[in-house]
Chains A and B, each alone.
Chain A
Amino acid sequence: MKALVPVKRVIDYNVKPRVKSDGSGVDLANVKMSMNPFDEISVEEAIRLKEAGKIEEIIAVSVGPAKAQETLRTALAMGADRAILIETDETVEPLAVAKLLQKVAEEEQPGLIILGKQAIDDDANQTGQMLAALMDRPQGTFANTVELDSDSVTVKREIDGGLETVKLQLPAIITTDLRLNEPRYASLPNIMKAKKKPLDTKTPADYGVNIAPRLTTTNVSEPPVRQAGEKVEDVDALVTKLKALGIA
């Protein structure tokens, strides 16, 4: 069985994003970029399934600029077998990514597609669900635990206040949540091996997908600066305050 793992190049989670002065978006010039952390979890999960002998091949795919090759190399260094870059410098919305992934999946016929539940740049949390809808495949989103059998996969999902277990017929789509696993760091020998693994470069046109954005971003602004708190004398004063605010 093959696993398809989409990975996105995003602003590094350690970087404090700065909004461009004209409010048109986040300034990405000279900013450290990395693999979306939820996608790292997806790659890790696929590798563990492969190590358990349940998956034969892991294909990493990314949609983005030429530099997204680095992100794919990271996936290859972690343990993916080959990679596909669908290269474009345009802004690509979740629906366009889902349409492209659908085409890749039709070619590769993976038993499992494992996506991060969302990317930390736009926090859209849409691609996996849209892909499942486009392909008319079962989906297990926000995965906390994944158990793969030959024709089905059992996913424990993180939901408000607990876990929900769903059993999906393969082929299926999974989106990963934070607690599914702890991604590994690539070892040096694997970083070296990754350089020799195949990486195909395609364009959206190769798949006949129109990626023109459907949304226009009108303004991006910094979150409001946190206001100073109020100091109270003692517990009684605190309780009175909380009551006045309707909290307690």
Chain B
Amino acid sequence: MDFALSEDQQAIREAILGLCAQFPEDYWLQKDRDAVFPEEFYRAVAQAGWLGIATPEEFGGSGLGITEAAVMMQAIAESGAGMSGASSIHMAVFSLQPVNLFGTPHQQQAILPPVADGTDRVCFAVTEPNTGLNTTELKTRAERHNGGYLINGEKIWISTAQTANKMLLLARTTPLEEVARKTDGLSLFYTDLDRSKIEVRLIHKMGRHAVDSNMLFIQDLWIPEDHRIGVEGQGFKQIIHGLNPERILIGAEAIGIGRAALQRAARYARERIVFNRPIGQNQGIQHPLAKCWAQLEAANLMVMKAATLFDKGEDCGIEANAGKYLAAESAFEACHTAMLTLGGMGYAQEYHVERLLREVMIPRTAPVSPHMILNYLAEKVFDLPKSY
């Protein structure tokens, strides 16, 4: 049992923190205020080769594991970039796992290198307004048409669709009534985000204004057959492979946000003098911060355990879900405590903790709610009957 980062992981952490130091917290505050994509950050990360951290070496990446990707994403969030920084590159770093695993060599060669070097921007078009987490009931249809597929449907919470030129799309190729198992009949496509057939509508939301979230209205989008990834009807199973890494990365990002909030709170507590002494001398300030730190770092161990298991090729569903749950909840508590530590100033944008508090709500609810994680844990750990 070794709880320390390896030398390489430490080097990755320090290098990415060094890069992030060029983008101080005021940069992120401004991007959030203006609701503008952090283009300069994205380009700097792409140029230094970080987008391809988990892409195989033969396709222009570094071929590292999800542990290293988690270390990187965590450091980005921790630098003060929060979800604005992490989400801006999240898709490029992680979403093409199904292409890695199920794409043809030709597809891999065509798809992966331009994403790893930042030329192509991908969004991940899976969730729908009328299905929620009940993914097998996706309504978007892909019907056979002219040697390809004709797509019609709606998608929601599609991040970066304002700037993406590509999308990874999950759609139903066989109607639900005609499949043997509910998980059959969905297929995965990697194709152009053709704005003449897809209306991308921005969702106005609570935080992370720099990275857009959208609704997609897809009407009569024709996709050639060779844009399908893997076997027709097996899309759900292909997506499943990406769920645990996604939980691990989101968990790691949440920890990063929590650390960023606690650092700012502790600094304020040291410097803010009231009643002739720093407020951080009061246990009423100290203990909540200390408790948050302990919970946050314990959660990080669970996230990193899940990452380690995943990279060893072992089952990590329970750890990945528990890690995401613990990370998001403790990060939320850390941000909340940080805001209270700063008192009124915590509510002012220039102290940055209110931005982190708004952003930490994302890992709390996405990609799966805490309630569904607890359902999952009850079923898998205790073998209790399904409640829904």
Q: Is B49 a contact partner of A189 (Cβ separation < 8 A)?
A: yes
Taken together as a complex, chains A and B put the C-alpha atoms of A108 and B356 apart, in Å, by 52
Tell me the nearest residue of chain B to A186, going by C-beta.
Answer: B15
Contact A73 B11 (CB under 8 A): yes
Question: 6 interchain pairs (CB within 8 A)?
Answer: A77-B11, A185-B18, A187-B49, A187-B50, A191-B8, A191-B11
Q: Is the CB of B62 within 8 A of A185?
A: no
Closest chain A CB from B56 CB (angstroms): 13
Residues of A within 8 A of B64 (CB): 192
Say whether chain A's binding surface is mostly helix, strand, loop, or mixed.
helix
Label chain B's interface by main secondary structure.
helix
Give CA–CA (A31, B53) in the complex, Å.
28
Given A187-B49, A188-B50, A189-B62, are A70 and B15 neighbors across the interface (CB < 8 Å)? no
Chain B residues in 8 Å Cβ range of A34? 14
CB contacts (< 8 Å) of A186 on chain B: these are 11, 15, 48
Contact check: which of B8, B48, B52 meets A185 at CB < 8 Å? B48
Interface-centre pick from A77, A187, A195 (highest chain B CB count, 10 A): A187
Interface assignment of B19: CB less than 8 Å from any CB of chain A? yes
Within A68-92, the residues touching B (CB, 8 Å) are 70, 73-74, 77
Tell whether, in the assembled complex, residue A188 and residue B62 are in contact, meaning their CB atoms are under 8 Å apart.
yes
Q: Count the A-B residue pairs with Cβ separation under 8 angstroms: how many?
A: 38
Cross-chain contact A187 with B11 (CB below 8 angstroms) = no
| List of A residues within 8 angstroms of B309 by Cβ | none
Q: Please, how many angstroms separate the alpha-carbon atoms of A195 and B62 in the complex?
A: 13
Interface presence of B7 (CB below 8 A): yes
* Complex Cα–Cα for A79 and B49 (A): 15
Known A-B contacts: A70-B10, A186-B48, A191-B8. Give 16 more (CB < 8 A).
A70-B11, A74-B11, A77-B11, A77-B15, A185-B18, A185-B19, A185-B48, A187-B48, A187-B49, A188-B12, A188-B15, A188-B49, A189-B62, A191-B15, A192-B64, A195-B8
Tell me which residues from 183 to 204 in chain A have a Cβ below 8 Å from any Cβ of chain B.
185-192, 195
A73 contacts which chain B residues (CB < 8 A)?
7, 11
Which residues of chain B are within 8 angstroms of A189 by Cβ–Cβ distance?
49, 62
Q: What is the bound-complex CA distance between A214 and B2, given in angstroms? A: 41
